[in-house]
């Protein structure tokens, strides 16, 4: 009975991690698509940011909801990792990785690094606490100059390196997270296995390339003030 209860709890935790993970993936894709408006100029990006701020109740509900999803995802993932470690307290003398990919073997590491990167990103571009050299300005429409902040940030080689490294970590984590979540939720079929297997890398590549385009376009002067 106890063994059955433990298995049920473990399955419930895996489903929770999968569902919250897919929710976070959806936000990451939406966030990247919104930021791509930097290529349309300051009016587009600043207008997009202003549009979000003009709905404070909706914005804060979304933020708090996203925070709750992230807390559940991280908490359950840590719980699962600790449970797996307790179930196998003695490590294998020799590890043979046949089917496991680099992304799947490093999920705990990339997840931890990704959390640090997200905190840094929020302190940097959202709160503006990391780089005091940029003073918040407003554009011609009276909106906060988000476009100018992005241009200022990615003209600094240090931030370019940090953000590019963050994208590599994000890509590795997404690559396994999407495919693994679909399989955990039972969305697996002999005819669709190949599709689900490439879904993670495809989403990861889409997001990472989109973000890198922004970073490198600014750094190379293709997008400027």
Q: Which of 31, 74, 79 is nearest to 173 (CA)?
A: 74
Strand partners, 123: none
Binned at pLDDT 50, 70 and 90, residue 97 comes out as very low
**Comparing C-alpha atoms, which of 46, 207, 70 is closest to residue 139?**
46
Question: Which pLDDT score is estimated for 196?
Answer: 79
pLDDT value of residue 89: 55
Whole-angstrom distance, CA of residue 110 vs CA of residue 98: 20
Q: Please list, in sequence order, all residues whose beta carbon lies within 8 angstroms of the beta carbon of residue 174, skipping any fewer than 6 positions away.
A: 25, 28, 200, 203, 204, 207, 208
Residue 88: pLDDT band (50, 70, 90) is low
Alpha carbon distances (Å) from 124 to 13, 149, 189, 191, 199: 33, 10, 43, 45, 31
Q: Among 73, 98, 86, which residue's Cα sits nearest to residue 184?
A: 73
Amino acid 165: pLDDT = 98
| pLDDT for residue 8 | 53
pLDDT digits (tens, 9 = 90+) for 142-158: 788 999 999 999 999 99
Confidence of residue 188 (pLDDT cuts 50, 70, 90): low
Domains defined along the chain, listed by start: 2-219 (1.20.1300.10)
| Percentage of the residues of the chain whose pLDDT score is greater than 90 | 57
pTM value?
0.88
Residue 82 pLDDT > 90: no
The pLDDT score that the predictor gives to residue 6 is 52
| 8 A C-beta contact, residue 184 and residue 164 | no
**Any idea which residue has 């990919």 for tokens?**
101
Instruction: Tell me the pLDDT tens digit for each residue of 98-128.
Output: 456 888 888 989 999 999 999 999 999 988 8
Predicted confidence band of residue 83 (pLDDT cuts 50, 70, 90):
confident
95, two tokens: 């590890």
pLDDT digit string, tens, across residues 53-68: 888 898 899 999 999 9
Q: How far apart are the first and last CA of the chain?
A: 66
Q: How far apart are CA 58 and CA 56, in angstroms?
A: 6
Contact 178, 199 (CB under 8 A): yes
């Amino acid at each position: 009975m106890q063994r059955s209860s433990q298995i049920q709890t473990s399955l419930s935790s895996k489903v929770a991690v999968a569902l919250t993970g897919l929710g976070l993936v959806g936000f990451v894709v939406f966030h990247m698509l919104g930021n791509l408006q930097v290529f349309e100029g300051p009016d587009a990006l600043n207008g997009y940011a202003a549009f979000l701020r003009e709905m404070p109740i909706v914005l804060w509900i979304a933020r708090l909801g996203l925070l709750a999803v992230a807390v559940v995802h991280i908490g359950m993932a840590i719980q699962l990792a600790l449970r797996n470690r307790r179930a196998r307290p003695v490590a294998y003398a020799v590890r043979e990785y046949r089917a496991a990919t680099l992304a799947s073997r490093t999920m705990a590491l990339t997840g931890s690094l990704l959390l640090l990167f997200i905190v840094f990103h929020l302190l940097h571009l959202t709160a503006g606490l990391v780089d005091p050299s940029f003073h918040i300005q407003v554009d011609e429409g009276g909106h906060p100059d988000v476009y100018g902040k992005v241009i200022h940030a990615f003209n600094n080689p240090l931030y370019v390196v940090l953000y590019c490294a963050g994208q590599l970590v994000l890509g590795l984590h997404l690559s396994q997270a999407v495919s693994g979540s679909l399989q955990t939720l039972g969305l697996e079929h002999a005819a669709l296995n190949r599709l689900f297997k490439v879904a993670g890398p495809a989403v990861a590549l889409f997001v990472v390339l989109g973000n890198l385009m922004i970073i490198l376009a600014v750094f190379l002067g293709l997008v400027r003030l």
